[in-house]
Structure 1
Amino acid sequence: MELAAFSIISDPRNDKNQVYSLDSLLLIIFASVLSGYDSVDEMCEFARLKLDWFNKFVKLERAPCPETLRYLLCSIKPQSLIDVFDEFAKTQKYCSDGDCIAIDGKTMKGTATSSTEALHVISAWSSQYGITLAALESKGKKNEIKTIPEVIDLLDARKAVITTDAMGCQKAIASKIIESKNDYVLQIKGNQRRLFNEIKAFHHLQCREGFDNVSIETYEEIDKGHGRLEQRKYTHFALTDWVDNKAEWRGLKSVILVERKRTIGVSIQEQSSWYISSLQVNARKAAKAIRSHWQVENPLHWWLDVVYGDDHSTLHSANGPLNLTMIKRYCMNLLTKDSTIKRKKHRVMASAVDDTFREKLLFG
């Protein structure tokens, strides 16, 4: 990330009374969030404490007041930050071949007010690189169906496997993924009742007939730790034209049944999940895509909540909540650039206290 990258972000302020340059304010915001400080009060205090360090890159006689940063965060056009994501992917020479890209939504509960709903953002997460490739606001969870195709349009991905939860299991989304030259694994539930019922009936028929002339593979995983034993069996089988609804879904070739058994002490929990896919039968590859999807729930959403306090945003007006959560995602991307410190939480701590480490993350 170079200071020149800030040129992507246009200055929303009036020309009059600009005591601080746009570059200096943006550097304060990005460096502060990278170091775990996400409120405007904390950002201003961080700038005051690290004034000498900031002056290595920008002219900053004194730290700005909180209102200056609050106004900027609320006024920046979100499209500018979307473009910053695109620029980051280009500079990292991102290669999507063989990647699993999980698309999922997250609601920032703390952004809700008495007159507005909480902010809901759809993110595309690369399991191969551990970074957010794109993010867009969705007008509530129910509008994820409309926003997901727009997120796919932002991805410069080819030959990847794109996954969604059951909300994204839609004909238009499957078609959009195929048009983008990628494959899909989409969880299916009762929201696509006709296709779901046909698939289960087809599976029952094939089990009875021994999957005669139908390609099928199985793959099993076992995880043990913290007093818990989890077994997962993936059954990946091809669909035939026996399923009448198959032709209505572009690229649909196969189905994955995942049977999970979790043992904790004497307690045993069993659960089954179903997925439709454009992949040829390959149980190991299907398992990788399904397991990778939950990375968007664990590293990304957990990080946003626990480390960056995404559910407790202090910005509630204009573009502030959306811009801040986009910046947090971008800073998470920057944290992946250094692996000398194993835990990302410790990288945030190091960024807060080590000027050299922070400089390395921001400027390479």
Structure 2
Amino acid sequence: MSLGQVRTEEKSNEITAIPRLLEALDVSGCVVTIDAMGCQTDIAETIIEEGADYVLALKDNQKGLRASVEAIFDRLVESDHEAHSPHKHVTGGHDRVETRRCWTVDVDEKGLVDQTGWVKLKSICLVEYEKFEDGERSVERRYFISSLEPNPEKLLEATRRHWHIENRMHWVLDVAFREDDSRIRMGNAAQNMSAVRRLALGLLEQEESLSVGTKNKRLRAGWDHDYLEKILRQI
């Protein structure tokens, strides 16, 4: 379910839009997860001011911090230190096995990480994603910083939920609604249509009387007015 959106101004990007969206929503008591674009000191500060915690993906837009965190976890994983053993989650089926391992470190531990500018930064996190599919193995490592305590189980769950929402929503909007093919550009039309698509997606996913995908539910609503009315009555 999509709870809100703000328009990215011309010659701007998500960095300026994210704080406006956070201020428009009630995120108090929540854990806010954002991709690397949102890994900015002022965004972290806004999240804390709004009464929430943050888990922010760390990539090369924060090169110094990323290099420091990566070096810490390289040593940690190589040493296999018992005090920092990872939490593991395994899923699989149909010749595919996915394993996620999460290591966390307290940023105050031996002053390992420069916390300058990062409000209430408490932990750094490594999530290793290992996949076996059709006999092939792949491994990907992702790094995060967080205001949460260094609890690997909780941080792994936060990152898993983020990927699930991000991948599922974007994939369905592209496949079922062909959002990426849209050429709507004039005025506020693109923003308005984006809101309508997300509202429609939420309604279609809540309707569970048909055991079919979102695309087929949408087609059914187009030719069956009774089914369309059933969906709209959820509002």
Higher CA-based Rg: 1
Which stretches of structure 1, 4 residues or more, deviate above 6 A after TM superposition? none
Q: 1:134 aligns to what SS in structure 2?
A: coil
The answer for the alignment partner of 1:153 in structure 2 is 23
Q: 1:340 to 1:218 in 2, by over 3 A?
A: same
Q: For residues 8-58 of structure 1, give each alpha carbon's deviation from its aligned partner in whole angstroms, at most 9, with x where no partner exists.
A: xxxxxxxxxxxxxxxxxxxxxxxxxxxxxxxxxxxxxxxxxxxxxxxxxxx
- % of aligned pairs identical? 31
Matches of 1:345 and 1:301 in 2, distance apart? 14
Q: 1:189 to 1:141 in 2, by over 3 A?
A: farther
Contact 1:237–1:255 (CA under 8 A) maintained in structure 2: yes
The answer on 1:264 being equivalent to 2:133 is: yes
Which residue, out of 183, 187, 200, partners 2:70?
Answer: 200
The answer for the alignment partner of 2:44 in structure 1 is 174
Q: Show the 5 A alignment for 1:1-364.
A: 131-139=1-9, 143-203=13-73, 210=81, 216=84, 218-240=86-108, 242-243=111-112, 245-342=114-211, 343-364=213-234
**Paired residues, what number?**
231
Q: 1:288 to 1:142 in 2, by over 3 A?
A: farther
In the TM superposition, what is the alpha-carbon distance from 1:316 to its structure 2 partner?
3.2
Matches of 2:165 and 2:53 in 1, distance apart? 18
Name which structure has the greater RCO, CA cutoff 8 Å, separation 6+.
1
Q: For residues 115-138 of structure 1, give each alpha carbon's deviation from its aligned partner in whole angstroms, at most 9, with x where no partner exists.
A: xxxxxxxxxxxxxxxx00111222
TM-score using structure 1 length: 0.58
Contact 1:217–1:281 (CA under 8 A) maintained in structure 2: no
Q: 1:275 to 1:356 in 2, by over 3 A?
A: same
Q: 1:264 to 1:255 in 2, by over 3 A?
A: same
TM-score using structure 2 length: 0.86
1:223 aligned partner, one-letter code = T
Q: 1:142 to 1:217 in 2, by over 3 A?
A: farther
The answer for the alignment partner of 1:24 in structure 2 is none
2:42 aligned partner, one-letter code = A
In the TM superposition, what is the alpha-carbon distance from 1:352 to its structure 2 partner?
1.9
Contact 1:195–1:246 (CA under 8 A) maintained in structure 2: no
In the TM superposition, what is the alpha-carbon distance from 1:344 to its structure 2 partner?
2.6
Matches of 2:75 and 2:141 in 1, distance apart? 18
In the TM superposition, what is the alpha-carbon distance from 1:198 to its structure 2 partner?
2.8
Matches of 1:326 and 1:320 in 2, distance apart? 10
Contiguous gaps of at least 5 residues in structure 1: 1-130
In the TM superposition, what is the alpha-carbon distance from 1:315 to its structure 2 partner?
2.9
The 10-residue stretch of structure 1 (229-238 or 195-204) with the greater mean CA deviation from structure 2: 195-204
2:149 aligned partner, one-letter code = Q
In the TM superposition, what is the alpha-carbon distance from 1:295 to its structure 2 partner?
2.6
Contact 1:217–1:282 (CA under 8 A) maintained in structure 2: no
Contact 2:175–2:215 (CA under 8 A) maintained in structure 1: no
In the TM superposition, what is the alpha-carbon distance from 1:205 to its structure 2 partner?
6.1
Contact 1:202–1:242 (CA under 8 A) maintained in structure 2: no
Matches of 1:330 and 1:293 in 2, distance apart? 19
The answer for the alignment partner of 1:91 in structure 2 is none
Matches of 1:239 and 1:210 in 2, distance apart? 17
Q: For residues 163-194 of structure 1, give each alpha carbon's deviation from its aligned partner in whole angstroms, at most 9, with x where no partner exists.
A: 11111111011111111111111111222122
Q: 1:159 aligns to what SS in structure 2?
A: coil
Matches of 2:10 and 2:151 in 1, distance apart? 35
Q: 1:256 to 1:244 in 2, by over 3 A?
A: closer
Q: 1:195 to 1:314 in 2, by over 3 A?
A: closer
